[in-house]
């Protein structure tokens, strides 16, 4: 059952920031994750601050430099179906269309998708785990088949969003508004590893609002894609996923953004793969070497060793597809 809470509809960003400064206040966008967290008592919720009425947070528009600005309240369906997103940033369109179910994509927003809480069943269940102030990660010696293989210590969650890896590969920036004004940062700087702070997933403070996602203009020769592997064809989170943003200069890869999903507590940038494929003409040997590099240094748990060959295989297939092989 949901706890009793006060409900406020903020009329402006300033108004929302003020309400979010109250103890136990939580921002509500589409509510598809927040209300589940409140019901499961993952964190205390005393005041729910809806931002849905705030003008200027909805919609997708082209920016003057040829890039794109996506308001935080834009639904995931709108992102997935937008013609320019499909034409210029196919990784993002594919990532958005892989999120959850049609109902959740209609209700869920891009801002909420980037800020959602992880899905670890110990964290979401009645366990006082490390993330909830306890002193143990129950996944480490427990049911860890869906947990991470990189960046885990001391908590082994996986980051849940399908849009974040695509946006990170594409070099997206975020605009954030809080009590002390506005700040911008690369999406890559937004997420926090458990070794940095086990109780948070992002650098966002509770009074801060993610207002906009900003994509750079697509570079000539850009080919981008997002591939998600899941246990069933119905809605499910990624077991393994690969976002690619390769910029071709003739038949060479001039630059590369490669990000894994379902691998780590944050969208996991694979610099090892980027290094192997950048500056070369990719052939089967290069791609095999890059796929091996994707899993180098992985530290699987007792029940998720299957993820290592899975990531190697998905990487190989995706790179071959991107290089038309």
Ligand X SMILES: Cc1cc2nc3c(=O)[nH]c(=O)nc-3n(C[C@H](O)[C@H](O)[C@H](O)COP(=O)(O)OP(=O)(O)OC[C@H]3O[C@@H](n4cnc5c(N)ncnc54)[C@H](O)[C@@H]3O)c2cc1C
Minimum Å distance from CB 104 to ligand X? 5
| Cβ neighbours of residue 61 closer than 8 Å, sequence gap 6 or more | 68, 69
Total residues at interface with ligand X (CB under 6 A): 31
Which of the ranges 98-106, 151-159, 191-199, 214-222 carries the binding residues for ligand X, by CB under 6 A? 98-106
d(CA 58, CA 61): 10
Q: Which position among 38, 78, 94, 112 is part of the footprint of ligand X (CB under 6 A)? A: 112
Q: Is 94 in the site for ligand X (CB under 6 A)?
A: no
- The residue whose Cβ lies closest to ligand X is 112
**Coil, strand or helix at 259:** strand
β-strand 25-28 against 47-50: which pairing, if any? parallel
Q: Is 34 in the site for ligand X (CB under 6 A)?
A: yes
Binding mask of the shown chain, residues 61 to 90, with x at each position contacting ligand X by CB under 6 A: -----------x---x--------------
Minimum Å distance from CB 20 to ligand X? 9
Nearest residue (CB) to ligand X, 209 versus 263: 209
Q: Tell me, rounded to whole angstroms, the distance of Cα 58 from its chain centroid.
A: 19
Nearest residue (CB) to ligand X, 80 versus 294: 80
Q: What share of the chain is helix, strand, coil (3-state, %, to 5)?
A: 30, 20, 50
Q: What's the DSSP call for residue 155?
A: -
Binding mask of the shown chain, residues 161 to 200, with x at each position contacting ligand X by CB under 6 A: xx--------------------------------------
Among positions 209-268, residues that touch ligand X (CB under 6 A) are 209-210, 235, 237
Nearest residue (CB) to ligand X, 40 versus 289: 40
Closest CA to 147 of 310, 304, 305: 304
| In the block, residue with structure tokens 């729910």 | 48
Minimum Å distance from CB 318 to ligand X? 18
Nearest residue (CB) to ligand X, 152 versus 160: 160
Nearest residue (CB) to ligand X, 115 versus 264: 115
Residues 314, 318, 323, CA angle at the centre, nearest 5°?
Answer: 150
Q: How far apart are the first and last CA of the chain?
A: 52
Nearest residue (CB) to ligand X, 8 versus 29: 29
Closest CA to 32 of 125, 90, 102: 102
Burial 265-285 (b: 16+ CB within 10 A, else e): bbbbbbebbbebbbeeebeee
Q: Is 92 in the site for ligand X (CB under 6 A)?
A: no
Which chain residues interact with ligand X by CB under 6 A? 26-34, 36, 72, 76, 99-100, 104, 107-109, 111-113, 115-116, 160-162, 204, 209-210, 235, 237
């Amino acid at each position: 059952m949901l706890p009793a809470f006060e409900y406020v509809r903020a009329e402006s960003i300033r108004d929302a920031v003020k309400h979010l400064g109250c103890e136990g206040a939580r921002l509500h966008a589409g509510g598809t994750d927040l209300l589940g967290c409140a019901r499961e008592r993952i964190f205390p919720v005393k005041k729910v601050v809806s931002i849905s009425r705030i003008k200027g947070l909805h919609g997708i528009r082209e920016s003057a430099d040829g890039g794109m600005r996506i308001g935080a309240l834009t639904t995931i369906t709108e992102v997935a179906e937008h013609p320019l997103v499909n034409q210029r940033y196919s990784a993002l369109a594919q990532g958005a269309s892989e999120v959850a179910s049609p109902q959740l994509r209609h209700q869920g927003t891009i801002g909420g998708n980037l800020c959602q809480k992880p899905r670890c069943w110990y964290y979401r269940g009645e366990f006082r785990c490390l993330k909830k102030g306890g002193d143990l990660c129950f996944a480490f010696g427990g049911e860890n088949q869906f947990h991470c293989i990189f960046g885990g210590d001391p908590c082994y969650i996986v980051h849940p969003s399908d849009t974040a890896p695509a946006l990170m590969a594409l070099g997206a920036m975020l605009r954030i508004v809080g009590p002390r004004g506005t700040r911008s940062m690369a999406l890559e700087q937004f997420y926090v590893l458990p070794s940095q702070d086990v109780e948070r997933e992002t650098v966002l403070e509770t009074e801060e609002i993610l207002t906009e996602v900003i994509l750079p203009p697509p570079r000539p020769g850009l080919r981008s894609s997002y591939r998600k592997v899941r246990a069933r064809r119905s809605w499910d989170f990624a077991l393994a996923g690969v976002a690619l943003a390769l910029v071709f200069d003739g038949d060479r890869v001039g630059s590369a953004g490669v990000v894994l999903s379902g691998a780590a507590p944050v969208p996991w940038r694979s610099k090892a793969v980027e290094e192997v494929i950048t500056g070369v003409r990719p052939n089967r040997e290069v791609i095999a070497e890059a796929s091996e590099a994707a899993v180098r240094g992985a530290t699987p748990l007792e029940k998720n060793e299957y993820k290592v060959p899975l990531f190697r295989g998905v990487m190989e297939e995706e790179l071959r597809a991107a290089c038309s092989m």
